Structure 1
Amino acid sequence: MSEETLRMVSTAHGPMAVRRQGAGDPVVLLHPLALSGELWRPLADALSDEFDVLSLDLRGHGASGWDGRAFSIEDMALDVAEILDALELPSVGMLGMSMGGSVAVTFAGLFPERVGSLVLADTTAWYGDDAVTAWAERARRAAEVPRAEQLPFQVDRWFSPAFSDQDPEEVDRVTKIFMRTDSAAHAAASTAMGRLDSRRLLPAVRAATLVIVGEDDYATPPGMARELAGGIAGATLLTLPGLRHMALVERPELADVVRRVFAGKPVTEGTRA
């Protein structure tokens, strides 16, 4: 396990934080809504013996800046492009979970030549016909409800009850990241999620793609994962029993599956973690 460094990268919309560790082919990890690249520390530790791992803080999250203006998921994907340009990384492997997955698939569709391998976990390219209204309510709650009072809703979506009972330290680690997230940025990103529709970009994705979903994920349910995998040529779908919205956190052994994708090895639906 190598030591992590934190670098601030200047972009047109402010400084963006990049946590980096390891050596080898570069891989980028993109976090869910209202969290930060810090979420990925266990996964980054696991991958850093073989890869140059970059865990980004998306706009307004973690240590990354935000100018207070509305933004879209596509804007966040363009932020990623600016960061990779600044770091002189023309092509990477990419992983995103939840909002990070929406950013990742948007990036891979906009810049297909820049993503060689892609892992999309518990995510979607579109939240459906009622998304704008539903996410507007989520944005209102993010802005107006005290963050501690939002935790029961979040934790229930993120983790299975069994995991919350068995590993309260990891649940606490993730909730502390959530508590540090700026409420206004959380609300702005929620609005962006409601307006997300990257379905048109799916046919452009050329990366070897694995779509992962928890069977009990009711935030981005398996039906959304099937549509995502069905829209990307050659994508593999891995459905995991008993898991909710943060499969890669709840099952750290999935790092071995992620490693296979980034190493260019085949992954099938029957692959064991």
Structure 2
Amino acid sequence: MKVTTARGTIEVGDVGEGRPVVLLHALALSGRLFDPLAADWAARRRVLTPDARGHGGSDWDGRPFTGEDLADDVAALIETVVGGPADVIGMSMGGSTAVLLAERRPDLVSRLVLADATADYGPDRVASWAERAEKAVNVPREKQVDFQIDRWFSPSFVQSRPDEVRRVCDIFVATDSAAHAAACHALGTVDAAGGLGTITAPTLVLVGDEDYATPPTMAEQLATGIPDAHLEVLTATRHLSLIQRPDVWPSIEKHLDS
């Protein structure tokens, strides 16, 4: 459905009833990434899966934006749709967005899950993400897929679940290249490590032990910096852990319900 907020129109999936949880997707994908998880949880909670600006069906005016802009978009969505705090789960880009949201608007985040995420991509983040942005617009999307698959999923998952790999690839290919590039630049602006100590939401940090996009050292920084955060490292798992490892969904629910 389309939701008009003070910060623009956002496309958001909205299924189930009960305590609301907002799922924030990875770079160059959309809220549809979480369709299997949303379907599994819909009987027990209200699941909101927004598209980041320029991704999926959400509007974007074509101008540059920052990580803070992405976080403020989610804040506006929660205020408009929920009217109060919600549990928030962010993966990859969605995880960085969730960190910024929890720092900027702690009143809107009840419990937090950060998967394959970081608060800071390092001293070369601006230059490295600018290079990624250039590739996003200059390389045909189909030709970017092999690079993405290798980052997203371990070889065993690619072999055992080609249907799920194809589903995620289809979302990626359909993403607007200009929005992909703008989001790359936005990730280059993320510098949230200094505010981790201000996060008040009980936090679960997840990371795959084979994740080289946001490696375990970045997850450790989150878990160390956020008060009373808990870290779980998932074996034989790469960057899209919540898709590759549905067996961890129950432990996430346990965190949300505790």
Question: What is the TM-score of this pair, normalised by structure 1?
Answer: 0.93
Alignment of 1:99-110 (within 5 A): 99-110=93-104
Task: Report if the CA contact (8 A) 1:13-1:66 is conserved.
Answer: no
Alpha-carbon distance in 1 for matches of 2:147, 2:77: 33
| Alignment-derived partner of residue 97 in structure 1 | 91
Matched residue of 1:34: which SS? Answer: coil
1:263 equivalent to 2:257? Answer: yes
Q: 1:190 is matched by which residue type in structure 2?
A: C
Alpha-carbon distance in 1 for matches of 2:7, 2:230: 35
Matched residue of 2:247: which SS? Answer: helix
Task: Report if the CA contact (8 A) 1:110-1:201 is conserved.
Answer: no
Q: Residues 119-163 of structure 1: CA distance to partner in whole angstroms, max 9, x if unpaired?
A: 000000100001111110000000110000000110000000110
Q: Residues 173-206 of structure 1: CA distance to partner in whole angstroms, max 9, x if unpaired?
A: 0000001100000000001111111112211111
| Alignment-derived partner of residue 271 in structure 1 | none
Task: Report if the CA contact (8 A) 1:60-1:66 is conserved.
Answer: yes
1:49 alignment partner, one of 14, 36, 43 = 43
| Alignment-derived partner of residue 118 in structure 1 | 112
Matched residue of 2:159: which SS? Answer: helix
Question: Where does structure 1 lack aligned partners over 5 or more consecutive residues?
Answer: 1-6, 265-273
> Structure 1 stretch 254-263 or stretch 174-183: which is displaced more?
254-263
Matched residue of 1:244: which SS? Answer: coil
Alpha-carbon distance in 1 for matches of 2:231, 2:98: 16
| Alignment-derived partner of residue 178 in structure 1 | 172
Task: Report if the CA contact (8 A) 1:35-1:178 is conserved.
Answer: yes
Q: Residues 15-71 of structure 1: CA distance to partner in whole angstroms, max 9, x if unpaired?
A: 101101111111000000000000001111111111111011011110001000000
Q: 2:179 is matched by which residue type in structure 1?
A: A
* CA root-mean-square deviation: 0.9
| Alignment-derived partner of residue 19 in structure 1 | 13
1:218 alignment partner, one of 212, 227, 241 = 212
- How far the C-alpha of 1:262 sits from its partner, in A, is 1.3
- Seq. identity, %: 50
Task: Report if the CA contact (8 A) 1:110-1:204 is conserved.
Answer: no
Task: Report if the CA contact (8 A) 2:32-2:49 is conserved.
Answer: yes
Matched residue of 2:62: which SS? Answer: coil
| Alignment-derived partner of residue 74 in structure 1 | 68
> Structure 1 stretch 108-117 or stretch 223-232: which is displaced more?
108-117
- How far the C-alpha of 1:85 sits from its partner, in A, is 1.6
| Alignment-derived partner of residue 237 in structure 1 | 231
Alignment of 1:122-137 (within 5 A): 122-137=116-131
Task: Report if the CA contact (8 A) 1:14-1:67 is conserved.
Answer: no
Q: Residues 204-232 of structure 1: CA distance to partner in whole angstroms, max 9, x if unpaired?
A: 11111000000010000000000011110
Alpha-carbon distance in 2 for matches of 1:94, 1:196: 18
Question: Where does structure 2 lack aligned partners over 5 or more consecutive residues?
Answer: none
Task: Report if the CA contact (8 A) 2:75-2:108 is conserved.
Answer: no
Question: What is the TM-score of this pair, normalised by structure 2?
Answer: 0.98
2:194 alignment partner, one of 169, 177, 200 = 200
